[in-house]
Amino acid sequence: MADFRLSDSEQALYERAMEFARKEIVPRAIELDIANEVPVDICQKAYEAGFMNLHIPKEAGGPHNTLFEETLIYEAMGYGDPGVATSINVNNLAFAPLVIGATIEQLQKYVQPMITSEKARFGAFCLTEREAGSDASATKTTAVRDGDEWVINGTKCWITNAPVADLFTVFAQTEPGSGYKGMAVFMVPKDAGVKIGHIENKLGQRASQQSEVIFENVRIPEDCLVGEVGRGFHIAMMTLDMTRTGIASIATGVCQRALDEASRFANTRIAFGKPIIRNQGISFTLADMAAKAHSARLATRHAAWLADNKLPGLGMDSAIAKLLASDYAMQNTTDAIQIMGGYGYAIEYGMETLFRGAKLLQIYEGTNQIQRIVIANELSKRAKTLDTGFRLNYPGVDAPDHSFKQ
């Protein structure tokens, strides 16, 4: 029999993360969004609380949390603020390709010192380029072998936490023009000569930073290659299949926060002699918002459960979770502003900050259009072997005729 309850340890973890979000993030979300920089002090507190570097194996000094446990933590962080959540969460994205493809010895050498230091240290996931966003195989950054070193050249963009990162996970072409077949992934320490370029000035999630990362004849040793040459694209796709659940969990937190703030407002705002929550138009909107938050949570946790149990379907289910949760986050924050009226539109009340932050959830780590492509491709594969039990003469399909008798 299926059991949808959290275990005692999972419930305690979720409650601890929510307490952190309400105490450390919610009261400062507006201030941090205005500052437009990585909130290093809050990240430090999250690091000390055990909310960063969650999936690093114990052999490399990490806690080796399950993906399901990660969704509990990052739903809470998203509840606080999606920008802050992104800053805290991005190490999971940066290190995921290394957990997938690197040896324990590599993790111990390059990652363990970062996740066991007294101060929170950051990694950066470097895949996107100006002409290689959704089409990751169009990457132009190159990695050329020179003796027992690799020489990296190219420019990445929209790289989260790059201005504060110490280790860059870089996807590059070892055979220019070969598309995904020549892609490899490398660990590049900042002190190898990595430069930071233009820092983006964004609409929302301004408590996280994205910037260009410039590699000009950056030399790294042979052991910075993760896995094998030609495996980079596969590692990138495996990474995104897993980390999309992190974005979905942040979005779920945004869904729930928008619902909670709108419900609280509607229960105290008096119009026509009664709280507006008693008006059907408002109450039905809140009911729809609750259904969206609930659906996002179930889809997200199910995708994480599939990954933890190594069951098939993760790519499609994580795409569904990211698609639903981020679309619902955008819809719930929009509806919350409508319910709150002018108060929702004013910066002091926090909802417009949440609204602007929600938009990016539909864009990064694969736009929702890309998620629909992932889902549609999987549906196409499944349709080839699908048997519904019903038979008609579809064009090009052999099937017996039906005789319908009156």
CB atoms within 10 A of CB 393: 11
Sign of CA dihedral 341, 347, 350, 351: positive
CA distance 232 to 78: 30
For residues 185 and 143, is the Cβ–Cβ distance under 8 A?
A: no
CA distance 332 to 254: 8
Active-site annotation holder among 24, 175, 365, 378? 365
Three-class secondary structure assignment of the chain: CCCCCCCHHHHHHHHHHHHHHHHHHHHHHHHHHHHCCCCHHHHHHHHHHCCCCCCCCHHHCCCCCCHHHHHHHHHHHHHHCHHHHHHHHHHHHHHHHHHHHCCHHHHHHHHHHHHCCCCCCEEEEECCECCECCCHHHCCCEEEEECCEEEEEEEEEEEECHHHEEEEEEEEECCCCCHHHHEEEEEEEHHHCCEEEEECCCCCCCCCCEEEEEEEEEEEEHHHEECCCCCHHHHHHHHHHHHHHHHHHHHHHHHHHHHHHHHHHHHHCEECCEEHHHCHHHHHHHHHHHHHHHHHHHHHHHHHHHHHCCCCCHHHHHHHHHHHHHHHHHHHHHHHHHHHCHHHHCHHHCHHHHHHHHHHHCCCCCCHHHHHHHHHHHHHHHHCCCCCCCCCCCCCCCCCCCCCCC
CA distance 123 to 160: 9
Q: Which residues contact 1 (CB under 8 A, 6 or more apart)?
A: none
Q: Is residue 175 flagged as an active site residue?
A: no
Name the residues annotated as catalytic.
365
